[in-house]
Amino acid sequence: MDIKILGTGCAKCKALEKATREAVAQTGINATITKVEDIVEIMKYNVMTTPALVIDDNIVVKGKVPSVDEIKKFLV
């Protein structure tokens, strides 16, 4: 599974990354988590509000920080 956190480094972006890493650890899935901070790369996903969570090239969340439990639902 390929997971990307899209965000320029704001507090919400960091919170999403932390929650995502925690959700992956709790579920025990095999995933690669990448933080994308380059605005040009973020724009390739047509995301206008960050943070955003991309799983296997599908945007599942944008503009908010979901809970760890919400993220776990996207992972299974």
Catalytic residues: 10, 13
Please give the single-letter amino acid code of residue 57: D
What CA–CA distance (Å, rounded) separates 31 from 56?
10
Q: Is 56 helix (H, G, I), strand (E, B) or coil?
A: coil
What CA–CA distance (Å, rounded) separates 45 from 6?
9
